[in-house]
Chain A
C-alpha cells in the first residue's frame, strides 16, 4: 500500500493487523514501523509524522526499527509518539528525541473514595486543587523559592529530595520509574539560565497540555490485575501530567545548540536539523545525558510535590483524615526521556539507549526494574486522555520487549492543530462544554484551554486498543474525567 502524505508517496507494508512497515530507502539505516489501525493511519495523511519516522531511521547506531506508536503526530525532528533505540557504543543521542519537556510524565494516585461519596463536594475539591497547585504561564511554586543549593540537591536526588522536604512518603519512591531518580544526573551541567528558570517552578503544573485530572473508574478490563493494583469500580483516582518545566526546556535548548554545532566534527549528517545528535560516548553526548538526567530528576520532584499538594487539597476540601482518603501512588511514568536499558536484539543481549518521545516504557511481569509488588502483573502504564472522554491504566507485556524495546503509546495524540482547535472553540462556552462532558474544570488561560479541548485529540480508546490488539500493552481500567485543573 502507498499513502500520499503531504503530497509525497510513502510505501507501507502491512506486517500485522495493526502494524505497518516503511521499508528502508535512501539513507535509512533501518525500516520504520508504525502501530496503527487503518483509521488511525488515515488520520496521518495530513501531517508529516511518517516522514519523520523515516528521518529518525537515519540516526547512526539505530537498532531494529524506527518505531511509531498509534498516538503518533507531527512533532519537530522526532514525531511525537516515536521510539528509537541506538547502540550504546556506536549510536548517537539526540536531545530532539527526548523533547523540550524532559521527563514529561504522568502519575496515577488511587484513593479509598467512591465517586458517589464526593460528587456533591467535587466543585470544592477542584477549587481547592486549583488554589494549592499553581498552573499556567509564569506560575510560581507551591513551595517557597528554592535556594540554588536546594535546587541542585533536587537535581541530584529527584523525588527523594521532595520526600525529605516533607512532600509525600518514602514508600512513594518505590512506585516510580527509576525510583524517581536517575543516578547519572550531574547538576553542574545544567546551565545557570536553566537553574534560574527552575527556582520558582517546583510544584507547578505549567501550561500547554499539562493537567491534573480527577477520574472515576468506569470500566475494568482485567479484574485480577485491577485488584492487585487496588482499583475498584467507581473509585476516585487522580492523574497528574506535567514535567520539568522551564528548567527542562532550557536544558534541551542549551544542548541542541551544542549538538547542532558539534555535528560537523563527528561527520553526522541527518535530514532534519532538529535531530541534532552526537555519539553517546562523545563529551557532548555524555554531558547531555547527565544534564537530561538532572532535569528528569527535577520533573520527578515536581510531580511529587504536586501529588502532596493534591492530597492536602482533598483533605481540606472533604474534611476527612488521611486514612479515610487513602491517597496512594500507583505509579509514575516518563514519556519524554532517553534511558540506558538492556534488550535482546536478534538473540543477543545488548545495552541500548532508548529514546522515547511521547512514548511510555511498558515492561512486562518479572522485569527486574519494576516494583516488587507488580512483578506478577507487569509495569503500570498511565495514559491520559483528552480531559473529556476517558483516560486509561494499562500494563506492559513480554511482546513489548520483543517488538518495541519495551515501549507503548503515551496519550491521545493530537488530531487537530492548535489553530484549528481555537477556531473550533470560537464562540464555545468552554465551562458549559466541559460540564456537558461531566467535568468540573478550572483553568488559567482560555486560549490554552481552547487549544486543548477534547475535540483537538484523537479518541484515546482507539490508541490503547491498537496496542492491546498488538499485544504490547493490556488495558486494565478506564477512568472517566470528573474534575480537571490546568494552566
Chain B
C-alpha cells in the first residue's frame, strides 16, 4: 500500500513522553507513528534493515485501532527487543491493520538506546482529520 509519508514531533510532558504525528493519509499516519515510537526507544540511525516482521492489530474505529497498533509495535520490542526502522502498511481497513516492519533487535553494544516505554496511555489520546491531513496525539508512560 503506497502511503503518503508523514512526520512527527515530540510533545512536552513533565513525567512522560508524547508525540504528535501527521500524514496525508491513514496508512501514512500508522507507518509514521510506528517509526516514531521505535525512534523514542532507540536511535534509528544505527538500526540496520536486517530483519523483517509482520505486525497485526485489531480495534474498533480508527482511534482504537491506532492505539492497538502502537501497543502491537511495542510488543515486538518488549518481547523480542525488535526495533523497527521502516514500516510498510500492507493492509489497513476498518477494524484491522497489517504491516511489514524492517529493522533489527536492539544490541546495546552497537545501538544507542533511549527510553523504555511502559505503556501507551489514553491520556489526551486523539486521532483526527483536519483539512485533509490525519493527526494523532499520544502520551507514553516511560
Contacts and interface: CB of A to CB of B under 8 A. Distances in A.
A75 interface: yes
Contact of A276 (B106, B115, B120, B122): B122
Interface stretch (A56-64, A175-183, A369-377, A442-450): A442-450
B113 A447 contact: yes
A76 B121 contact: yes
A420 B113 contact: no
Contact of B14 (A74, A246, A487): A74
A197 interface: yes
A196 B13 contact: no
Contacts of A206: 116
A445 B114 CA distance: 7
Interface in A130-182: 136-138
Contacts of B118: 100-101, 208, 249
Nearest to B142: A208
A444 B142 CA distance: 16
Contacts of B79: 193, 196-197
A256 B121 CA distance: 9
B93 interface: no
Contacts of B119: 100, 249, 252-253, 256
B12 A136 contact: no
Contacts, number: 104
B26 to A, nearest CB: 21
A256 B118 CA distance: 13
A419 interface: yes
B15 interface: yes
Nearest to B75: A193
Which one of A76, A138, A196, A418 has the greatest number of beta carbons of chain B within 10 Å? A76
Given A137-B106, A273-B122, A447-B112, A419 B12 contact: yes
Contacts of B124: 76, 272
Contacts of B51: none
Interface in A66-101: 73-77, 80, 96, 99-101
A357 to B, nearest CB: 11
B115 A207 contact: yes
Contact of A417 (B12, B41, B75): B12
| Chain A residues touching B, range | 35 or more
Contacts of A284: none
A445 B78 contact: no
Which one of A73, A246, A417, A444 has the greatest number of beta carbons of chain B within 10 Å? A417
Nearest to A210: B116
B10 to A, nearest CB: 6
Contacts of A253: 71, 119-120
A414 interface: yes
A76 B108 contact: no
Interface string B106-133: 1010001111101111111100000000
A447 B115 contact: yes
B12 A420 contact: yes
A206 B118 CA distance: 11
Interface in A20-77: 47, 49, 73-77
A47 to B, nearest CB: 5
Contacts of A274: 121-123, 125
B52 interface: no
A342 interface: no
Nearest to B141: A100
A341 interface: no
B56 interface: no
A451 interface: yes
Contacts of B125: 273-274
7 contacts: A196-B79, A207-B115, A208-B116, A274-B122, A418-B17, A445-B113, A447-B114
